[in-house]
Chain A
Amino acid sequence: SQELEQSPQSLIVQEGKNLTINCTSSKTLYGLYWYKQKYGEGLIFLMMLQKGGEEKSHEKITAKLDEKKQQSSLHITASQPSHAGIYLCGAEPSGSARQLTFGSGTQLTVLP
C-alpha cells in the first residue's frame, strides 16, 4: 500500500521566516496534492503537481515535485500568522488505484 511520510511533524517559526515542509512517498506518484487545514475545519486545496520537476507558486507558497515523482516540498517565504495551520500532502499513486492517500500532516505555528 501507499506509504506517505511528512516531515517535520510540527514546526514553530517566527513571523517573517522562511520554512519548508517535506512529503516523501514509498512509490512513484501520478499526482501530489497539498492541502491546508485549520482546527475544526475542512481541508483547503492549495496546489496539485503531476509532472516530474514541476513547480507551482501561489502568493508566498511554492510547491515542487522531484524528477522521480516520489518527493515533494512546500516552501513558505516570509511566513505570516495567517499561514498557521496543518499542512497535508495527498498522494495519487500511479496505476489503476487512484484514490488519495494522505500524510499525517505538519502542524505549523507562526509566532507574531
Chain B
Amino acid sequence: EAGVAQSPRYKIIEKRQSVAFWCNPISGHATLYWYQQILGQGPKLLIQFQNNGVVDDSQLPKDRFSAERLKGVDSTLKIQPAKLEDSAVYLCASSLAPYNQPQHFGDGTRLSIL
C-alpha cells in the first residue's frame, strides 16, 4: 500500500513570499490532516478534513494560511505571506475515519524562511 505522499520535501523562501504544499493521502482514507511541527516539539494540528469538508481549523492562522481538499482526495496548504515563525516541518496525515483509527503520516515538507 502506498503511503502518504507530500511535496516538495524542502522549501526555502524569504519572508512575505508565498508557498504551497501538496499532499496525496492513502487511497480510501476519508480524513486528512495538516500539522505544523516546530523543531523540538510535537506536531500541532492546523486543519482536519473529512472528505472535502473542514472538520476543524481552529488552530489555523487564517489571515495567512489556507487549505483546500477539492474532490476529497489531494490537498494543498498555502501560506501567504510567510513570516519567520512559520519555519517548521509541515506534515500531512490521513486516516480511514476521524477517530478510533491511527493516522498515517507523510515525510513532511521542511520550510525555512529567510
Contact = CB atoms under 8 A, between A and B. Distances in A.
Interface of A: 4, 30-31, 33, 35, 40-45, 48, 50, 88, 90, 92, 97-105
A8 B43 CA distance: 18
A12 B68 CA distance: 42
State the majority secondary structure of interface residues on B: loop
Interface stretch (B13-21, B69-77, B79-87, B98-106): B98-106
Given A43-B91, A50-B100, A98-B98, A103 B42 contact: yes
Contact of B99 (A30, A42, A101, A104): A30
B32 interface: no
B42 A42 contact: no
A90 B99 CA distance: 12
Interface of B: 4, 6, 40-45, 48, 56, 91, 93, 98-100, 102-108, 110
B48 A42 contact: no
A104 B107 contact: no
Given A42-B107, A45-B105, A99-B56, 16 more contacts: A4-B42, A30-B99, A33-B103, A40-B107, A41-B107, A42-B6, A42-B93, A42-B106, A44-B105, A45-B102, A88-B43, A92-B99, A98-B98, A102-B42, A104-B42, A105-B42
